Chains A and B, each alone.
Chain A
Amino acid sequence: MSARMTYREACRQAIRDAILADPRVFLMGEDVGRYGGCYAVTKGLMEELGEDRIRDTPLSENTLAGVAVGAAMAGMRPILEIMTVNFSLLALDQIVNSAATIPHMSGGQFAVPLVIRMATGAGRQLAAQHSHSLEGWYAHVPGLRILAPATVADARFMLAAALADPNPVLIFEHVMLYNAEGEIPDGIRSVDIARAAVRRAGGDVTIVTYGGSLPKALAAADMLAAEGISAEVIDLRVLRPLDMETVAASLARTRRVVIVDEGWKAGSLSAEIMARIMEDAFWDLDAPVRRVCAAEVPMPYAAHLEQAALPQPEGIAAAARALVKPP
């Protein structure tokens, strides 16, 4: 029987299931217990599962990440919640220098089966220190697997797959998705964390996106469909390693592509996707590759400026339209 729930509820059920299924799994983070999580994902879980499994921590990201790496090396399956990706910069040393490197530097003697969940993205008027999309930085680092669930089903089932991975996995939950509702189709009990997904099939232009930009890309595809332009929408799902096969297969048919990313353009994930298209699919292109990304500014606080700085369906549709029907 298909279940309808919010993205937040899907995250919560995923954590609860994981903890109930495996005594080695626990969740730690700032305000995850008593307060129920800054985005209320873990509301009620400490009362149900106990303080050993849902652990409130001090505000000290690098220390928390170090504790989580150590716990993972010692055989536990920690889930670390970091309030937003912006704060994870304080934990970069443990994530990049320890978690990502130890399996390699120990010659495989130590696995780091750690999962770090973070909120990412803008749209809630939380200003420049709480709104950036920095997941692309982590996608730069070998040794990490980077996930970006954009649907309720992925929010519900990516965590289990991430915990089963012996290497560190980072999951980025977009703040504007928590209230989104969706169906989990019958019979879906797990998802892969390797492949991109075609969320909407189309033949004229490919829109490549992920996370919080997926609903905007789908809205743009609706607008385009009304004009007779058939857009294919690809949800990358996994930001590292990138599934370029799915992108290239789509491009081989549509021959035009727009990349949509809430990160900035310069030195970014969208730039990497563009580069990989040039390397892998250059001869299939029948138009230049276009990007719709965040404006190159620290995210504004004012609502109208914040919206203006972010990719929007109208802008995505305009970019795609200009490729299919050049002015």
Chain B
Amino acid sequence: MRAELYHRSVVAVLILLLTVPVLATLLYSLSEHWGATILPDDLSLSWYLQLWQDSAFLAAFGRSLAVCLGTLLLATLIIVPAVFVVFYRFPGLDKLMNALILIPFAVPPVVTSVGLLNIYADGPLNITGTPWILVGCYFTIALPFMYRSLANSLASINVRDLMDAAHLLGASTPVAFLRVILPNLRKGLMASLFLAFSFLLGDFVFANLLAGSHYETLQVYLYNMRQTSGHFTSAIVMSYFLFTLFLTWLTARFSK
């Protein structure tokens, strides 16, 4: 019984440690004022109303959504066929691919930014300060999640048998891929897309260093709002947090 009490208290402390900052931010965003009292004085949604009518916030949120969704669309169009080709035609490449996709994951974004800023600041590809450079970086952030998830889905079905069966029934390779293989990848793809989405939304380093005020995303907007009221910034933090929670929930739903 003593052991049970101990384990329950440890888990309770863990929950407390993790949730207190979130709950405090939530309460702060919902309160008009909060001085030296345990609970704030009066609750209201006024900070959220102010935030969601702020055109700068809506524009930044829109930019974030545009660049993230654009990246995920491009990544799907590029990565899905690539993983399939590796599995179907060049299975020997899988090892190399697994090593390559880890590079963007292992190298800190600050380091990559140093190279990117210097390569794309002038020359033929002058894309620094535009959303295009973010699309490129975000592609590499999404890559490990999407590749691994798709590779796992493909490994769990017998690609060659399915393709051979489709060929025997008269389907061409592209048709067989679209109608036989692709439906099998749907769940894994959706789960990895939502996971990647929440990672992309969380990016501050690339957005701040490569695009900055030229293309102010949600995270950069939040940082630039640091001098305003803490109630207002906590309303931004909570709005962002709830949105990523929604994405996490979708990821979990599709992972089952």
The finding on whether chains A and B are genuine partners in a shared complex, rather than unrelated, reads no
Interface residues of B (CB under 8 A from A): none
